[in-house]
Structure 1
Amino acid sequence: MEKLGAVRSAVADGALDGALTGLMCGELDTARRRVAELLDGFQRSFGAGEDTPITLCSAPGRTEICGNHTDHQHGRVLAAAVNLDFLACAALNGTNTIRFQSQGWPMVEVALDTLEPGEEERESTAALVRGMAAQAVEKGYPVAGFDVFATSEVLPGSGLSSSAACEVLLGVVENHLFCRDELDPVTIAQMGQRAENVYFGKPSGLMDQTASSVGGAVAIDFADPAAPVVRRMAVDLNKEGYALCIIDSGASHADLTAEYAAVPQEMGAVAAYFGKKVLREVEEGQVLEAMPQLRKAVGDRAVLRALHFFADDKRVGEEADALDKGDFAAFLSLVNESGRSSWELLQDITPAGAVREQAMAVALAVAERALEGKGACRVHGGGFAGTIQAFVPLDRLARFRERVEQTLGAGSCHVLSIRPVGGTVLWG
């Protein structure tokens, strides 16, 4: 690892410019300033001197492109890393405690005396910190205390999966500090999922962590979650004449855990009807043939959600093929199909019983009208709240953004890039 003062000089001299450019992080002056402020924050938080050996790491948020609620059923997804990230400065601290300071939040301290999940830590950052460290130890690596100061552009509730980015960031730091960089990106992603499921207490698939950890645009097949098959694609949206927009609906994810949990539960109930654990093990024809009995056994919404799974799982391969062939028109048509399926069959746009407030539905209606028959839009991520996604022609981008923000508020439309690099060590 390099000493903090040397890293500060490297930033000022432009030695870090190549790494920062690879992150698609915007203007270099802004990126350099962000790293300098990160180093200052680390020093303030932990009293570090200029001679402290440090490492700089980054992990991106992700955007789901297709495969809405398919990963937890061992299905396929299409996702991409984006140019909003968690950036961190980390260093060993000579103790048995991990100290994690995310800018603007209280410091989290996790003693490594016990590595078991704690009920008192559920749904907290401490749970993720403990969960990631515990798994590195389980793999035989000597994890000890370290300090992390992080700044995040992946805002909580943005639909870009800040939790997965945080998990991947911790995995990258621990991989570099303790594991001799021997953990591959998919292994770090699997560690992140387990930390979120077992320690944090949120049921989730593996898509978010894999997209963040691997980087670029990826089609991921989770038929065997222990060994997901990752297919990378080169996607240049600017060359195709489109921008990727993530639009904040204004609705919060708070109090929606039951809504999210019901999706895998109901899909699982359909699979269980056929003696299977997940829908990937069931044929769509079986569901269609057993429809009358199945509706009585598990309910109509569960059946419709299963039909969405089969459709979106198939669409992932079709969208990936369209991108590989350079058929962007076909890709956009499939994105719109995925959006309609999520609304009509998966039903993850409006929480059950919501009448007065239907923010996601409003956002989709506004975006569709602003596109004027061009491009595509769909729900983004888990649904029910948070964000939607739109692919917008560059020559219509300014007008699109203006119309969307007239209804949803200034700053609600974020124009992003697909980041080619996943979780990474930038320096040290």
Structure 2
Amino acid sequence: MKAGIKTTELKAMIVDKQLDDKFQKLYMDTVDLKNQRERYINAIETFENLYGIKEVEIYSAPGRTEIGGNHTDHQNGKVLAASIDLDAIAIVAKTEDSVSRIQSEGYQPFAIDVSDLEPCQDEIGKTQAIVRGVANGMVTRGYQVGGFEAYITSDVLSGSGLSSSAAYEVLIGTIFSGLYNENKLDPITIAQIGQEAERIYFGKPCGLMDQMACSVGGAVYIDFAEEDHPAVRKVDVDFNGFGHCLCIVDTKGSHANLTDEYAAVPAEMKKVAAYFGKELLCQVPRTDFYLNIANIREMMGDRAVLRALHWYEENLRVEEQVEALEKGDFERFKSAVKESGNSSFKYLQNVYSGKNVQEQNLSIALGISDSVLKGNGISRVHGGGFAGTIQAFVPDALVSSYKNIMERTFGQGSCYILHIRPEGGVKII
């Protein structure tokens, strides 16, 4: 049974601005609506060129920004994250067979038969693995999967710390939910399925924060203390009412040869937990950690202690950030975010690699931000760190000058002005 609206009719609806209300809700910026109409029309026309004029549905899944909880989720800590108005969109037609045929912009097309859901060694590290893994997660939970044809395009920057991979996983989960399960899957389940697909099928160990923020949408507080059943709640806040913009600056630092730097963060935290006979820091009371710092230093080294110290204090800062937002105290919120960034720099030590101290893109970006904002706004390392991006909350009156100065240093188009998107993975029509 086919579903959706014919591509020709859908293009006419977009031209007539019939989807503007939906676009406004997802992309927030009225100035950008014209660009979004063109983007969607181009995507539909590409779908038509690939598969013909058909009845289709449209799905969207956003990228995410981490606000608080830097490197806490892998120790089952607490996180404040939010979806953003950069997203992956899919033009999708349901088919009668079990084969999912996908063409993503800039990548080679592929087809996956979702009647065969065994992990495939040849697919490790490839997008095909994500689709097969998500389909498997659906089936093992008693949901239906089937074939579809899709064209996918994304403006979630790859390698930017905005979680393009999680957006893709949530997008595929939302497509299966919409096409074959009457949109019955809840966002948390879709996030968990995406994480399983990335871990087991794609072959990349990951926490659950990225998928959860992309799937749930808006500002989201997550407590991972019970990993299989994380406590998740949306934070009722309108960021647009605070007179600040969210800016992400791509410093163009390379992530090459940094795998061991990233791996060392959870590994050293686990070493501290192991001192107490535990696997993760969440299993070790904060007081016990502080009472035993002298012995831990001797056995595990100082950096492991500093990183554990960051973890304990960062969990408290997440709670403070959430409370400040819920009370409408944006200055207190900014202060707590800045403290989080400072802790990441000093104690977690993920702003630059100790292997190459002459390359400190993030440090330069943070230093310039402090000079420009002068306490009126704040900046911090974004995502995993060591290279990539910083995050800044910038007063509206300073956004233009901040953007100009950052792009003078890191190149045209390196500073992205974003908004917190209120919805996660969603079927648009």
Q: Does 1:23 align with 2:20?
A: no
Change (3 A) 1:261 1:100: farther
User: Aligned-pair distance for 1:150?
Assistant: 0.8
Q: Does 1:235 align with 2:237?
A: yes
Match of 1:48 among 31, 47, 52: 52
Deviations 1:137-187 (A, max 9, x none): 212233222222111010101111100100000010011112221210011
Q: Does 1:289 align with 2:291?
A: yes
More displaced stretch, 239-248 vs 288-297: 288-297
Supply the AA of the counterpart residue of 2:352. Answer: T
Deviations 1:221-240 (A, max 9, x none): 11112222222223333321
Equivalent residues of 1:237, 1:244 under 8 A apart: no
Distance 1:345 1:156 in 2: 27
Supply the AA of the counterpart residue of 2:18. Answer: A
Q: Does 1:397 align with 2:399?
A: yes
Tell me the residue number matched to 1:167: 169
Q: Does 1:7 align with 2:13?
A: no
- SS of the residue corresponding to residue 146 of structure 2 reads coil
**Structure 1: where are the runs of 5+ without partners?**
none
Distance 1:184 1:370 in 2: 42
Supply the AA of the counterpart residue of 1:30. Answer: N
Q: How do 1:100-111 and structure 2 match up within 5 A?
A: 100-111=102-113
User: Aligned-pair distance for 1:201?
Assistant: 1.8
- SS of the residue corresponding to residue 405 of structure 1 reads helix
Fraction of identical pairs, as percent: 47
User: Aligned-pair distance for 1:113?
Assistant: 4.9
Q: Does 1:311 align with 2:313?
A: yes
Supply the AA of the counterpart residue of 2:37. Answer: R
User: Aligned-pair distance for 1:322?
Assistant: 0.5
User: Aligned-pair distance for 1:257?
Assistant: 2.6
Distance 1:77 1:180 in 2: 31
Equivalent residues of 1:349, 1:360 under 8 A apart: yes
Distance 1:258 1:372 in 2: 35
Supply the AA of the counterpart residue of 2:66. Answer: E
Tell me the residue number matched to 1:212: 214
- SS of the residue corresponding to residue 90 of structure 2 reads strand
Distance 1:299 1:108 in 2: 48
User: Aligned-pair distance for 1:250?
Assistant: 0.7
Tell me the residue number matched to 2:341: 339
Supply the AA of the counterpart residue of 2:418. Answer: L
User: Aligned-pair distance for 1:210?
Assistant: 0.8
Tell me the residue number matched to 1:422: 424
Distance 2:145 2:257 in 1: 35
More displaced stretch, 120-129 vs 168-177: 120-129
User: Aligned-pair distance for 1:6?
Assistant: 3.0
Equivalent residues of 1:64, 1:78 under 8 A apart: yes
Tell me the residue number matched to 1:37: 42
- SS of the residue corresponding to residue 40 of structure 1 reads helix
- SS of the residue corresponding to residue 112 of structure 2 reads strand
Match of 1:375 among 371, 374, 377: 377
User: Aligned-pair distance for 1:128?
Assistant: 1.1
User: Aligned-pair distance for 1:108?
Assistant: 2.7
Deviations 1:98-149 (A, max 9, x none): 2221112111322335322223222221121111111112122332222221
Distance 1:109 1:352 in 2: 43
Distance 1:263 1:97 in 2: 40
Tell me the residue number matched to 2:93: 91
Deviations 1:279-313 (A, max 9, x none): 11111221222222212332222221111100111
More displaced stretch, 220-229 vs 341-350: 220-229
Supply the AA of the counterpart residue of 2:358. Answer: R
Distance 1:264 1:353 in 2: 18
Distance 1:337 1:21 in 2: 33
**Structure 2: where are the runs of 5+ without partners?**
none
- SS of the residue corresponding to residue 428 of structure 2 reads strand
Supply the AA of the counterpart residue of 1:399. Answer: S
Distance 1:269 1:423 in 2: 36
User: Aligned-pair distance for 1:25?
Assistant: 5.2
Distance 1:345 1:70 in 2: 13
User: Aligned-pair distance for 1:194?
Assistant: 1.1
Distance 1:399 1:9 in 2: 39
Tell me the residue number matched to 2:323: 321
Distance 1:220 1:13 in 2: 40
- SS of the residue corresponding to residue 187 of structure 1 reads helix
Tell me the residue number matched to 1:130: 132
Tell me the residue number matched to 1:61: 63
Distance 1:400 1:12 in 2: 35
Deviations 1:179-203 (A, max 9, x none): 2212100110111111111122222
Deviations 1:340-381 (A, max 9, x none): 100111111112311221212222112221212221111111
Distance 1:200 1:255 in 2: 20
Supply the AA of the counterpart residue of 1:272. Answer: A
Supply the AA of the counterpart residue of 1:292. Answer: A
Q: Does 1:360 align with 2:362?
A: yes
Q: How do 1:161-310 and structure 2 match up within 5 A?
A: 161-310=163-312
Deviations 1:265-284 (A, max 9, x none): 22122112212221111112
Equivalent residues of 1:59, 1:165 under 8 A apart: yes
Distance 1:275 1:348 in 2: 26
User: Aligned-pair distance for 1:422?
Assistant: 0.8
User: Aligned-pair distance for 1:82?
Assistant: 0.5
Distance 1:127 1:265 in 2: 26
